[in-house]
Amino acid sequence: MTLIYDEVMATTVVDLPLSYSDTESILYALSVGLGRHPLGPKELPYVYEHGTPLRTVPTFASVLVPDMFPPDLGWDFSQVLHSEQRMHLYRPLPAAADLLINKRIVGAFDWGPRNGAVILFEAEGRLASDDTVLFTLGSTVMARGDGGFGGPMGKGPKPHRAPRREPDLSCDFETRKDQALLFRLTGDRNPLHVDSALAAKAGFAAPILHGMCTYGIACHAILKTICDYDYTLIAGFEARFSAPVLPGDTIRTDMWQDGNVISFRCTVKGRNSVVLRNGKCTLTV
């Protein structure tokens, strides 16, 4: 199979019904590290539905769209690499909701047989009850085995650049050895994150953590340090995936605040490996 440009660009899904409950909201919060201190009054509202209204981690929206990257697109799915993720929230996510999802491909760029192809995906989530838009998502994917399909040249959105100064603050989170086993329950069952033999074939010493989990941990860091756990303050979140994380690694999120824009970068302590770069979190105020 090969990518066919006109067919790729015509790939759309309209009004896909999707429902989630507070169980999924709590599971996502746990999977990106909230609730490690069960008696902590600021994290408890994200993992306990009684007493106060349940809060939702803003990046929970990023795992709500099923099959964001359809395996039957005509590409070599084994060579697909999720390279960037973008999210915009128009209002805080409710703890439970019935949604309608629209999905489409907004760009397919041919970088040649040696360099692969770049595919841009977008999705929108709306409340089924009144069509209110809750969020939009954008993803950039490298199809490393599909260059030369005859599409146009082009690039994805311009990456955000962090200021050239020392970080204003940093936050360390130690991931659990079983973090990938927990995060996969939010929707990504790729065996690369579980199966040691498959991970070895892909060139990894062990199963790696989901990039989207690292993305959520970065959000957790900003939620904790700058937002004081006020989830309503985060309206936008974007980053580029640059290196793998192994479950058990400690992720350091460096942050620079300029008005309502938080630039951020994630590294693995001890390996000095940058795992998320070009991070940008937009605050509502």
What pLDDT, on a 0 to 100 scale, did the predictor assign at position 71?
Answer: 85
Closest CA to 172 of 254, 279, 248, 241: 254
Least confident window among 32-36, 67-71, 206-210:
67-71
Does the pLDDT value for residue 197 go beyond 90?
A: yes
Which residues share a beta bridge with 110? 117
Q: What is the DSSP letter of 51?
A: S
> Quick one: residue 65, left, alpha or beta (phi over 0 = left, psi -120 to 50 = alpha)?
beta
Per residue in 53-89, pLDDT tens? Answer: 899 999 999 999 988 998 889 898 888 899 999 999 9
What pLDDT, on a 0 to 100 scale, did the predictor assign at position 1?
Answer: 57
- Which residue type occupies 123? A
Least confident window among 47-51, 85-89, 101-105, 276-280:
47-51
Farthest-apart Cα atoms in the chain, separation: 58
Predicted confidence band of residue 28 (pLDDT cuts 50, 70, 90): very high
Mean pLDDT of 146-155: 93
What the chain holds in terms of domains, given with CATH numbers, is 5-143 (3.10.129.10), 169-283 (3.10.129.10)
What pLDDT, on a 0 to 100 scale, did the predictor assign at position 50?
Answer: 84
Q: Give the residue numbers annotated as catalytic, written as ranges.
A: 188, 193
- Which residue type occupies 140? T
Does the pLDDT value for residue 157 go beyond 60?
A: yes
What pLDDT, on a 0 to 100 scale, did the predictor assign at position 201?
Answer: 87
Mean pLDDT of 273-283: 98
Does the pLDDT value for residue 245 go beyond 70?
A: yes
Does the pLDDT value for residue 38 go beyond 80?
A: no
What pLDDT, on a 0 to 100 scale, did the predictor assign at position 229?
Answer: 97
- Helices of type H across the chain: 5-9, 22-31, 44-47, 179-183, 196-201, 211-225
What pTM was computed for the model? Answer: 0.96
DSSP symbols for 53-114: PPP--GGGGGG-STTSS-TTSSS-GGGEEEEEEEEEESSPPPSSEEEEEEEEEEEEEE--TT
Per residue in 115-133, pLDDT tens? Answer: 999 999 999 999 999 999 9
Q: How far apart are CA 181 and CA 270, in angstroms?
A: 23
